[in-house]
């Protein structure tokens, strides 16, 4: 086959042969060639229970197996303030020259954009004004609004709070800034000193420089009573528009209070006409009711209320401040006056004044988001060129809309800018992942605590926090920088509790789903459409959407409430809708689609269900672990992330093609995605419980600290597997791996060979009969407790296996109802839970009694343990203690799943503890792992601790390779006649992978396999026999070229060195990429060990009474292991603590060297940087020019730069350019040369200092 010819030729030939392999391998052919050229071929084989073959035309070659390695980890991407990336838009205005300015409330910054929306610059707001001595100021100034004057200067309104006379008081401030953000003038306003009341809401500038500020003080309050308005009134304490001179003196006030109204947003025309949004304060209505009526005026007995009241609308004043007219308009939010006319915004709508037809209607998904929290959606500006601009502040998107034809009804805007809330960094909490042309990462809700870059993240259930989908390129960088492509897509859910559940990407088009709605996002702006596929066919259906998948212009949604799959086209039109359950009691937890096939992950039964997009049943096949999530690859293969934190690749008919463990199985593996090139992405997070959860507000019901998070990236290396018996789905799975390093060596050198075996076994669980006792009383409607309970219960049911579990459902409010007797149809129970409503009293005793009767009745099975799970807000109005005691006495275990509201108090927890009899049986607002813990606790799931009862590994060495005697670790039996190494191991545990190593000396020049074959025969911990086949790596052996030999002799200078008594600040910049873990040329240890030793010997020669040194490490990133210090012990400890990761970012290592010298370098010391690397710059992440730029930055600081290239896979030309001069680049063919090179550099530094002193200049 094509692969075989590739394996036995030079890497260059392998690349040349890749096109010939296309017909044999399909899309992965280039990956196959590259993998073979690198000599990395791994193995995993096996087969599950076959079903009817799905999608035969598009699937990959079933004769090819794959092995996966971690090639990258996306984590800790830092945030930076960037022009055009908005945290929260707070206002917009434009200058006479057309420049657009946007106020960013979250980042406390002003963004400047060109007239066409291109980002120009951004600056943080300066702290211009102070406060009186002795005044305790509370926090920073908060920006509120912005306007650009007719003079082109930027004016910002800010607010601050301080304490005086034990009272919290408010100050306002107006800053005048240059177009570049320079501070020009500022004045503070204390309303008490002005003898007025209220806070300032908006500002506008007049042509003569006067400043207009709207001010209001009311005691409006909120009362909700269902969807009917509650009685109440709002008293206007004070309100008006204050007019200030350009230097900040109050000139006059335009009164509003006496007319029963308050001013809101305002703007001034070029003719000096003042336009003010005039609002009539009133009691608010429930924002969850739709439609909300227009507010009606309601007034108290405030002093001197004028009998002539102004209507709600836009108040227009003459230049001398006389009222010209009021144009009626209800619920106006912002206003703009300019060449195009007068425009007013109301929530997601924009109107031209006096025209009842909106110019634009925006997305409605954030109606509650804006109205309930008092946020303006459209901040307006009338541009000098006749356009209308909107600073759009919405959960879907933050940015600038540009309306070029405001006379149209409706106009279609152009978009500029992108969302930066939460901060574009991390990823902090990658809850879901999908990939295609781009990679989409759905973030869960979290808070950032602390000051960047030392912030920590707290995952939380706070429903007001934003969610976004980050777009990543397949090279790991966040996409940004052009108006057409943005880096973050804002998410809006259908209600407060309906957080975004899942994300799918088809090409570059993103689909998102929450419990109720599905949205299509072809770009990063507003949705193309939003639809409700679960309730459109039947408004009364208990729909609860949970997962989404997309492929080839179609999208499919899993509805866990109705137990259906909905298939739609790219325009949102329904194509198919069909029920999942047939004769199987499947409880799908995820969905994937490829072409005309849909795959459903049934975690409880360890199965993948295969369906056509029209619902045709193509059977099912078993998986080797419970599938937590499922996705399809570009060839139609199916990828599964197991709950045991292993990943599996199957053919469409269930043949196991690959399996591999996650790099750290102690972390949560959250989701899996596969891009168009076949790379696999797995999101992960490392949580830590928050000990202060009990002190948090009632609306924060769940929180944990995020210690680490990111996305693991794996790439496949295809190979031709030998025919071996596949493991059964209920047997243990082993993954063999083998590689040789270094991959290119001279004749006479030795190569290290490593074999590893990872594996896992299925766990065991007991049979159970579970009765859910579900609280449907009225209090479950508080703080969305019912929806939260449904969500947690659905996740719990997804963990159960209907082959070993039966579930009943009883509900209670005024009384109790047995909704469903004991059944193995867990999916049916999940649908019934999704359809529950809350009303009535809380009579838990009746519910508990009903459940116990069902468990003890005719359907009782003595082979099953019996369990009651109480699902409630924890506030019970009766005492079922006697019934609970009797149940536990009868052997029934009682658990509680509590979704607390504000009413839940310690006394309620004590009652729940008395019912369950154990604190370990109470789960309060569980996070995802706690749901798993609850399910495993009830079923007594036990992971299999063992892996191999016995395993024998035999490696057959080729005749043109010589085994280095005694090099096998652990020791192996070597048969010189057969030329084989044999290891026999027993009782290998599941958490202990097997690692075997030895060394070979090639005897011929050429490209040769390091073994004839390597196999393992085993008996697993469950008693199953099997066989594993290891891959066959290759090594290139070359002959010596005399001109390439380098001999390091004692240094001889062409001129006498002049000693200079100058202290040194030395930065050792060391490559810690994964290739540095390859064995050293001679002796034990790795290349990194040799580098540590040589660098340590160099550091030992410094004079620490005057010299200092630092240690910097780089791989995919860079870090300062030790800052500049004169503590040799710290330096040695820093070298010893260096660890390796994938990637070679020389530019980042040098950049960290610059930062280290900038932070701790001394003016009296000579900076010296010594770089060591064994690889090439990762140019797909940053070009060589980035390396040269950082080298130039070091030289600009006066640093002497020396570079060392270790081995043959280096860029000698690049390293020569980075060094201060080409002769300060040192080539080290092997690790044996490192000590001599560092000694040469030590001597060279002395002479270089002297030469610099003689020349009277700093070296360039």
Residue-wise DSSP of 70-116? EEEEE--BPP---TTEESSEEEEEE-TTS-EEEEETTTTEEEEE-TT
Per-residue pLDDT tens over the stretch 1185-1203: 889 999 999 998 999 999 9
89 and 199 share one domain = yes
DSSP letter, residue 1050: P
Cα pseudo-dihedral 1004, 1006, 1012, 1013, rounded to 10: 130
**CATH at residue 735:** 2.60.40.1530
Per-residue pLDDT tens over the stretch 225-242: 344 444 444 578 889 999
The pLDDT value given to residue 136: 64
The pLDDT value given to residue 1105: 79
**CATH at residue 196:** 2.120.10.30
Q: What does DSSP say about strands 1013-1020 and 1064-1071: parallel, antiparallel, or unpaired?
A: unpaired
Residue 8 domain-assigned (yes or no): no
DSSP secondary structure string for all residues of 257-312: GGGT-EEEEEEE-TT--EEEEEE----B--TTSSSPPPP-------TT--SSPPPS
Percent of the chain having pLDDT more than 70? 83
Query: How many folded domains does the chain comprise?
Result: 5
Residue 47 domain-assigned (yes or no): no
Select from 250, 256, 300, 260 the least CA-distant residue to 280. Answer: 260
The pLDDT value given to residue 1052: 41
Task: Answer yes or no: is pLDDT of 883 > 80.
Answer: yes
Other CB atoms within 10 Å distance of the CB of residue 453: 10
Q: How far apart are the first and last CA of the chain?
A: 56
635 and 736 share one domain = no
Residue 163 vs residue 359, higher pLDDT = 359
Task: Answer yes or no: is pLDDT of 57 > 90.
Answer: no
Residue 686 domain-assigned (yes or no): yes
Binning pLDDT at 50, 70 and 90, where does residue 33 land?
Answer: very low
Residue 199 domain-assigned (yes or no): yes
Per-residue pLDDT tens over the stretch 354-391: 999 999 998 865 444 443 345 799 999 999 999 999 99
Q: What does DSSP say about strands 509-513 and 109-113: parallel, antiparallel, or unpaired?
A: unpaired
Report the length, in residues, of the chain: 1260
Decide if 1206 contacts 1172 (C-beta within 8 A).
Answer: yes
Binning pLDDT at 50, 70 and 90, where does residue 785 land?
Answer: confident
Percent of the chain having pLDDT more than 90? 46
The pLDDT value given to residue 11: 29
933 and 980 share one domain = no
**Cα 575 from chain centroid?**
32
Task: Answer yes or no: is pLDDT of 701 > 70.
Answer: no
287 and 363 share one domain = yes
The pLDDT value given to residue 1058: 55
Task: Answer yes or no: is pLDDT of 169 > 90.
Answer: no
434 and 524 share one domain = yes
Where b means 16+ CB within 10 Å and e means fewer, 1120-1153 reads: bbbbbbeeeebbbebbeebebebbbbbbbbbbbb
The pLDDT value given to residue 282: 54
**CATH at residue 806:** 3.40.50.410
Binning pLDDT at 50, 70 and 90, where does residue 1235 land?
Answer: confident
445 and 494 share one domain = yes
Residues 6+ apart with CB under 8 A from 567: 554, 555, 556, 557, 574, 575, 576, 577, 598, 613, 614
Which of 986, 1010, 1038 marks a domain boundary? 1038
Listed range (65-79, 167-181, 710-724, 1148-1162) with the worst mean pLDDT: 710-724
Residues 6+ apart with CB under 8 A from 414: 117, 401, 402, 404
Other CB atoms within 10 Å distance of the CB of residue 1256: 6
Question: What does the alpha-carbon distance between residue 585 and residue 591 come to, in Å, rounded to a whole number?
Answer: 16
Residue 875 domain-assigned (yes or no): yes
Residue 396 vs residue 1048, higher pLDDT = 396
475 and 490 share one domain = yes
Question: What does the alpha-carbon distance between residue 106 and residue 104 come to, in Å, rounded to a whole number?
Answer: 6
Question: What does the alpha-carbon distance between residue 288 and residue 981 come to, in Å, rounded to a whole number?
Answer: 73
Cα pseudo-dihedral 180, 182, 185, 188, rounded to 10: 100
Residue 784 vs residue 1226, higher pLDDT = 1226
Decide if 548 contacts 533 (C-beta within 8 A).
Answer: no
Residue 69 vs residue 611, higher pLDDT = 611
Per-residue pLDDT tens over the stretch 640-659: 998 878 899 999 999 888 88
Residue 351 domain-assigned (yes or no): yes
Say if pTM beats, i.e. exceeds, 0.85.
Answer: no
- 825 three-state secondary structure: coil
The pLDDT value given to residue 220: 44
Which of 718, 747, 776 marks a domain boundary? 718
Question: What does the alpha-carbon distance between residue 557 and residue 600 come to, in Å, rounded to a whole number?
Answer: 11
Per-residue pLDDT tens over the stretch 1029-1083: 888 888 888 875 444 444 444 444 334 455 566 889 999 999 998 888 888 766 6
736 and 856 share one domain = no
Mean local confidence (pLDDT), 337-362: 95
135 and 196 share one domain = yes
Which of 891, 908, 939 marks a domain boundary? 939
Task: Answer yes or no: is pLDDT of 636 > 80.
Answer: yes
Listed range (81-95, 750-764, 1083-1097) with the worst mean pLDDT: 1083-1097
Decide if 557 contacts 548 (C-beta within 8 A).
Answer: yes
The pLDDT value given to residue 586: 79
Q: What are phi and psi of 683, to 5 degrees?
A: -80, 145
The pLDDT value given to residue 47: 29
Residue 222 vs residue 629, higher pLDDT = 629
Instruction: Report the side by side order of strands in the sheet with 751-760.
Output: 733-741, 751-760, 994-1002, 961-963
Residue 58 domain-assigned (yes or no): no
The pLDDT value given to residue 249: 95
Task: Answer yes or no: is pLDDT of 1122 > 70.
Answer: yes
Question: What does the alpha-carbon distance between residue 33 and residue 11 come to, in Å, rounded to a whole number?
Answer: 8
Which pairs with CB-CB distance under 8 Å and at least 24 residues apart come from 1207-1212? 1207/742, 1207/1087, 1207/1174, 1208/744, 1209/744, 1209/1075, 1209/1174, 1209/1175, 1209/1176, 1210/1173, 1210/1174, 1210/1175, 1210/1176, 1211/1176, 1211/1177, 1211/1184
The CA–CA distances, whole Å, from 1007 to 13, 585, 687, 1033 equal 12, 55, 47, 10
Per-residue pLDDT tens over the stretch 492-516: 865 545 678 899 999 999 999 988 8
Question: What does the alpha-carbon distance between residue 1157 and residue 1124 come to, in Å, rounded to a whole number?
Answer: 8
598 and 537 share one domain = yes
494 and 591 share one domain = yes
Residue 827 vs residue 3, higher pLDDT = 827
1011 and 1139 share one domain = no
Residue 692 domain-assigned (yes or no): yes
Q: Work out whether the CA dihedral 1040, 1046, 1049, 1054 comes out positive or negative.
A: positive
DSSP letter, residue 764: B
Mean local confidence (pLDDT), 892-896: 95
Mean local confidence (pLDDT), 1009-1023: 90
Rg of the Cα atoms in the chain: 35
Binning pLDDT at 50, 70 and 90, where does residue 299 land?
Answer: very low
pLDDT winner (highest mean) among 69-73, 150-154, 1159-1163:
150-154
The pLDDT value given to residue 969: 92
DSSP secondary structure string for all residues of 383-433: -TTS-EEEEEE-SS-EEEEEES-TTSTTPPPEEE-EE-SS-S-B-S-EEEE
Domain that holds residue 509: 430-718
Decide if 555 contacts 568 (C-beta within 8 A).
Answer: yes
Paired residues of 687 in beta bridges = 706
Other CB atoms within 10 Å distance of the CB of residue 216: 24
Task: Answer yes or no: is pLDDT of 350 > 90.
Answer: yes
Mean model confidence pLDDT for the chain: 82
């Amino acid at each position: 086959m094509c692969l075989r010819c590739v394996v036995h030729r030079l890497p260059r030939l392998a690349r040349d042969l890749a096109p010939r392999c296309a017909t044999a391998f399909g899309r992965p052919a280039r990956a196959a060639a590259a993998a073979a050229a690198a000599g990395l071929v791994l193995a995993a084989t096996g087969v599950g229970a076959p079903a009817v073959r799905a999608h035969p035309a598009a699937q990959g070659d079933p004769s090819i197996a794959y092995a996966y390695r971690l090639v990258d980890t996306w984590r800790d991407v830092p945030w930076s303030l960037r022009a055009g990336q908005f945290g929260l838009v707070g206002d917009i205005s434009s200058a006479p020259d057309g420049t657009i300015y946007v106020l960013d409330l979250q980042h406390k910054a002003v963004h400047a954009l060109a007239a066409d929306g291109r980002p120009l610059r951004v600056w943080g707001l300066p702290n211009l004004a102070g406060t009186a001595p002795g005044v305790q100021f509370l926090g920073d100034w908060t920006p509120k609004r912005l306007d650009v004057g007719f003079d082109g200067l930027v004016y910002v309104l800010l607010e601050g709070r301080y304490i005086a006379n034990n009272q919290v008081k408010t100050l306002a401030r107006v800053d005048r800034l240059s177009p570049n953000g320079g501070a020009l003038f500022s004045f503070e306003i204390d309303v008490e000193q002005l003898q007025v009341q209220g806070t300032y809401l908006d500002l506008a500038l007049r042509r003569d420089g006067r400043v207009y500020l709207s001010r209001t003080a009311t005691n409006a309050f909120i009362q909700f009573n269902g969807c009917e308005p509650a009685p109440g009134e709002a008293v206007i304490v004070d309100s008006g528009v204050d007019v200030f001179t350009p230097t900040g003196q109050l000139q006059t006030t335009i009164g509003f209070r006496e007319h029963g109204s308050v001013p809101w947003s305002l703007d001034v025309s070029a003719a000096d006409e003042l336009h003010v949004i005039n609002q009539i304060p009133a009691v608010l209505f429930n924002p969850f009711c739709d439609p909300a009526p227009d507010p009606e005026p309601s007034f108290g007995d405030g002093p001197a209320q004028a009998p002539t009241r102004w209507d709600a609308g836009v108040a227009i004043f003459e230049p001398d401040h006389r009222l010209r007219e009021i144009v009626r308009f209800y619920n106006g939010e912002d206003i703009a006056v300019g060449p195009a006319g007068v425009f007013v915004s109301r929530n997601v709508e924009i109107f031209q004044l006096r025209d009842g037809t909106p110019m634009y209607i925006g997305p409605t998904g954030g109606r509650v988001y804006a109205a309930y929290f008092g946020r303006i959606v459209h901040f307006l500006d009338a541009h000098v060129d006749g356009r209308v601009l909107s600073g759009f502040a919405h959960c879907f998107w933050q940015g600038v809309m540009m309306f070029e034809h405001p006379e149209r009804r409706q106009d279609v805007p152009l978009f500029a800018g992108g969302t930066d809330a939460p901060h574009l960094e991390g990823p902090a909490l990658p809850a879901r992942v999908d990939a295609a042309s781009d990679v989409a990462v759905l973030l869960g809700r979290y808070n950032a605590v602390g000051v960047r870059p030392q912030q920590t993240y707290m995952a939380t259930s706070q429903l007001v926090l934003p969610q976004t989908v980050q777009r990543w390129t397949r090279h790991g960088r966040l996409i940004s920088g052009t108006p057409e492509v943005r880096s973050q897509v804002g998410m809006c859910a259908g209600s407060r509790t309906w957080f975004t559940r899942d994300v799918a990407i088809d090409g570059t088009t993103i689909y998102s789903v929450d419990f109720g709605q599905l949205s299509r996002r072809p770009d990063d702006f507003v949705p193309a459409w939003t639809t409700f596929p679960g309730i459109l066919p039947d408004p009364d259906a208990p729909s609860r959407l949970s997962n989404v998948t997309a492929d080839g212009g179609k999208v499919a949604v899993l509805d866990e409430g109705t137990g259906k799959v909905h298939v739609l086209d790219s325009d949102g039109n329904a194509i198919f809708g069909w029920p999942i359950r047939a004769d199987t009691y499947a409880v799908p937890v995820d969905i994937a689609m490829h072409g005309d096939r849909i795959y459903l992950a049934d975690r409880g039964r360890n199965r993948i269900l295969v369906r056509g997009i029209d619902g045709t049943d193509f059977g099912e096949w078993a998986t080797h672990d419970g599938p937590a999530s499922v996705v399809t690859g570009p060839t139609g293969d199916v990828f599964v992330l197991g709950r045991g934190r292993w990943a599996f690749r199957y053919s469409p008919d269930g043949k196991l093609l690959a399996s591999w463990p996650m790099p750290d199985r102690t972390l949560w593996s959250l989701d899996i995605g596969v891009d168009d090139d076949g790379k696999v992405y797995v999101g992960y997070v490392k949580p830590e419980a928050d000990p202060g959860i009990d002190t948090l507000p009632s609306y924060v019901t769940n929180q944990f600290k995020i210690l680490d998070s990111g996305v693991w990236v794996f790439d496949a290396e295809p190979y031709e597997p030998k025919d071996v018996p596949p493991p059964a789905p209920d047997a243990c799975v082993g993954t063999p791996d083998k590689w040789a390093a270094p991959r290119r060596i001279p004749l006479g050198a030795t190569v290290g060979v490593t074999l590893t075996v990872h594996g896992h076994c299925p766990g065991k669980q007991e049979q159970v009969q579970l009765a859910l006792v579900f609280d449907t009383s009225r209090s479950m409607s508080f703080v969305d407790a019912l929806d939260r309970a449904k969500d947690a219960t659905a996740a719990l049911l997804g963990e159960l296996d209907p082959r070993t579990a039966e579930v009943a459902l009883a509900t209670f409010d005024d009384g109790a109802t047995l909704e469903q007797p004991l059944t193995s149809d867990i999916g049916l129970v999940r649908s019934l839970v999704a359809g529950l409503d809350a009303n009535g009293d809380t009579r838990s005793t009746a519910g508990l009694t009903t459940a116990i009767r069902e468990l003890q009745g005719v359907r009782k099975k003595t082979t099953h343990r019996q369990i009651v799970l109480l699902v409630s807000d924890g506030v019970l109005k009766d005492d079922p203690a006697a019934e609970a005691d009797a149940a536990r006495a009868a052997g029934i275990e009682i658990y509680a799943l509590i979704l607390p509201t504000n009413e839940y108090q310690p006394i309620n927890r004590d009652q729940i503890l008395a019912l369950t009899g154990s604190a370990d049986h109470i789960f309060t607002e569980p996070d995802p792992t706690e749901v798993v813990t609850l399910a495993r606790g009830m079923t007594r799931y036990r992971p299999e601790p063992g892996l191999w009862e016995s395993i024998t590994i035999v490696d057959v060495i080729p005749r043109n390779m010589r085994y280095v005697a005694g090099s096998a670790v652990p020791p192996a039996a070597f048969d010189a006649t057969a030329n084989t190494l044999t290891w026999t191991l027993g009782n290998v545990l599941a958490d202990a992978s097997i690692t075997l190593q030895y060394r070979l000396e090639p005897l011929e020049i050429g490209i040769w396999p390091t073994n004839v074959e390597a196999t393992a025969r085993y008996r697993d911990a469950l008693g199953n026999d099997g066989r594993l086949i290891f891959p066959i790596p290759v090594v290139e052996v070359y002959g010596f070229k005399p001109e390439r030999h380098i001999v390091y002799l004692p240094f001889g200078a062409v001129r006498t060195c002049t000693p200079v008594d100058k202290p040194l600040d030395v930065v050792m910049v060391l490559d810690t990429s994964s290739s540095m873990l390859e064995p050293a040329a001679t002796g034990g240890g790795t290349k990194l060990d040799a580098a540590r030793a040589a660098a340590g010997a160099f550091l030992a020669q410094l004079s620490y009474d005057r010299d200092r040194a630092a240690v910097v490490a780089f791989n995919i990133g860079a870090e300062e292991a030790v800052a500049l210090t004169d503590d040799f012990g710290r330096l040695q400890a820093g070298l010893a603590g260096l660890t390796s990761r994938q990637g070679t970012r020389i530019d980042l290592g040098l950049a960290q060297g610059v930062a280290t010298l900038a932070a701790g370098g001394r003016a009296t010391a000579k900076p010296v940087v010594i770089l060591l690397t064994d690889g090439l710059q990762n140019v797909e992440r940053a070009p060589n020019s980035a390396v040269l730029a950082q080298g130039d930055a070091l030289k600009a600081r006066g640093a002497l730069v020396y570079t060392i290239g270790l081995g043959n896979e280096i860029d000698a030309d690049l390293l020569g350019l980075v060094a201060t001069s080409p002769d300060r680049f040192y080539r080290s063919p092997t690790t044996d040369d490192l000590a001599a090179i560092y000694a040469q550099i030590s001597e060279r530094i002395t002479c270089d200092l002297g030469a610099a002193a003689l020349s009277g200049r700093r070296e360039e």
